Amino acid sequence: MDIDETLVRHVAKLARLELSDDEVTGIAPQLAEIFGHIDQIQQIDVGDMDPATQDPITLEGLRSDEPGETLDPRSILRNAPQHDGAFLVVPRFFDEEE
């Protein structure tokens, strides 16, 4: 796959990343190298192995899933960088227009 600066800018825009010209210039060859490694991995012959096959997960040694003590909301808010007295305040991550 040919990774050029135009593609990097396009992906950055989709991911809502602001990249400087220097960052775009530096990332393009790095991404090309990463995709080169992925292409090599895809060339590996795995024979007739079913891709969904995996070792069964053993539940030995895991604790039972039991409810425990809950956290005091005041202590959570006390440690929060921003809150309005009842809720955590976080930055918006999407616009209402979209």
Q: For 25-66, how does the pLDDT look when each residue is reduced to its tens digit (9 = 90+)? A: 999 999 999 999 999 999 988 777 776 766 666 767 778 888
pTM passes above 0.95 = no
pLDDT at 10: 93
Distance CA 91, CA 82 (A): 10
pLDDT at 46: 79
Beta bridge partners of 83: 88
Domain 5-42 has CATH 1.10.20: yes
Distance CA 90, CA 87 (A): 9
Report the C-alpha dihedral over residues 35, 40, 46, 47, rounded to 10 degrees: 120
> Whose structure tokens read 């796959």?
1
Domain ranges for the chain, please list them: 5-42
